[in-house]
Structure 1
């Protein structure tokens, strides 16, 4: 990482209409996030916490109600031309490669599709074969005329990655990139992403529910709960000394974790009815165990909202003041 910012989100809010005319669902409810050049950031949390909505907003696929997204220091242009130019620089890699690829298109056509949409000139065949080779499908000529049903899950994911690489992006947003793959293939795809960062200087946002994956691939991790980032920082610091009880609970279920197992009560609250105070307090084991009461912070947990994280730290009353970057 160079230390130079590539993509930033400031005070981002994304809402969806509520059911039956009820209050809106605050899927992303005040998020600050930064991705540096050549940096891999893992966005971690349970299903329904807002990770995918945040990722889609960062790609310009969902327009935020409030807040700003900036690319290379310039606010995102939501006009047709502006978005088209941006999406050439920022590419999405989806979780399900079989669903992402047209079963009637050959591998060649699938990878060349981006070149044709963006009307990129030059030698199309050379660009496609180079992208396939970089994605680990070698020799690429073996795959050009094959169809998705003829490939394994790992090969399909490499085709999807090649389809992103062919446009020479600066940023890849990978939404659960190995969730649908066998364990034996996951490591290969993660190693590929690391190699692409080393060779091409790519930045990446990896959306995942798996903190173990974050440990293996990320430089920084941002833990999301109920529309907000509740802890962030360098991956080694967050995952070895978590300060937020939600992060501790996620870590405790990993097979290699030294933390005692933590079972969170219930499900995350409805994002259209976010509780007052700390939004995690209704499930917080620190509050439930009486530890917060003994520390004299229980009432604050129930009634005092915590400010949006603007840097490394934890959004938790017990964690104390957020350290400066």
Structure 2
């Protein structure tokens, strides 16, 4: 198995750029606000597929939805093609021709009373498409792998397989010829035999159309097969990022190591993390992972001289670029011991 290969470089200007994004939801019964996204920098370049991975509840879906204007940020900045993402209804409508969302459950995305044709044509009608609607729908279905497309026009969602329904959802996104797809667990509800087909489709669309994509997933195997770059998220913040092969073959953050250890092909025993992820309304001080960290619990952080820093000092926010980075005091200390000094590219910026 080989990982996806990027066709972009770190010098290519970002299509989508996020800087210090924060999203907080009001707490219940006087509780502090829940910091669902708590300082995220993230860039996605033209033609690049970035996988955003992490446990359920870490803020992945909230971040993804905010990138499409569906969840307003509390603070921070989102730029698309160099321009700030505006919040007016007209500006968001124009933006959503260029950036489309593909959800996990095609059953929830498709109206059971609408034919496939109407489901795919809906976006064209919302945006006042002035061309040949039938040709546009047929082209989108064909690109999504439903051929001959006319055979599917009058079919309803219940008449399709799960993989076919997901292809209809993808066709509905493609019909507007977007530049960016945000796919939230796009194959999680599909049988294993169909998952590979949908992933191959996304890679083919990138190759043929130059699409960029953010793929939200808890599945590191999926990230390996489809992504150019991976960003690992924990408790509202990205804690490790870099090219997918680099991160997934030589993970530096203890959380990334734990996620990878449970894969069937992983060497050694799985790492069992203690406890549950903390409440996002009560993010612990110091490294937000320290209460569950197997490196701290096993004494390795103490031997590296960073145990106190793990408990008291925030490792900071990783920058959004394509360089390999990790927000971990122990990883920095280990890198410094191996090279004589930690490199600047490894370090996070201080949290505000």
1:259 shift after superposition? 4.6
TM-score scaled by length of structure 2: 0.91
Summarize deviations over 1:122-142 as a string: whole Å, max 9, x none.
Answer: 000000000000000000011
Q: Say which of 169, 190, 203 aligns to 2:178.
A: 169
The 5 Å alignment of 1:231-242 reads: 231-242=240-251
Contact 1:313 1:322 in 2 (8 A): no
How do residues 127-138 of structure 1 correspond to structure 2 at under 5 angstroms? 127-138=136-147
1:39 matched residue in structure 2: 48
Task: From 115, 118, 126, give the equivalent of 1:117.
Answer: 126
1: CA distance, partners of 2:250 / 2:296: 20
Q: Alignment RMSD, CA only?
A: 1.0
Determine whether 1:76 maps to 2:64. Answer: no
Gaps of 5+ in 2: 1-6, 333-341, 347-352
Deviation (angstroms), 1:316:
0.2
> Residue in 2 aligned with 1:267?
276
Instruction: Please tell me whether the aligned partners of residues 314 and 322 of structure 1 are also in contact (alpha carbons under 8 angstroms).
Output: no
Which residue number corresponds to residue 13 of structure 2?
4
Q: CA deviation at 1:324?
A: 2.2
Aligned to 2:329: 317
- Residue 63 of structure 1: CA displacement? 1.0
Rounded to whole Å, the distance in 1 between the matches of 2:60 and 2:268 is 25
SS at match of 2:207: helix
Q: Which runs of structure 2 are paired with 1:1-325 in the superposition (5 Å)?
A: 1-2=7-8, 3-310=12-319, 311=321, 312-320=324-332, 321=342, 323-324=344-345
Instruction: Look up the SS of the partner of 1:237 in the other structure.
Output: helix
CA distance in 2, matches of 1:257, 1:60: 38
- Secondary structure (helix, strand or coil) at the match of 1:155 reads helix
Deviation at 1:23, TM superposition (A): 0.3
CA distance in 1, matches of 2:18, 2:313: 25
Corresponding residue number in structure 1 for 2:339: none
What is the TM-score when the length of structure 1 is the normalising length? 0.98
How many Å apart are 1:281 and its aligned residue?
A: 0.1
Q: Tell me how far apart the structure 2 counterparts of residues 323 and 111 of structure 1 sit (CA, whole Å).
A: 47
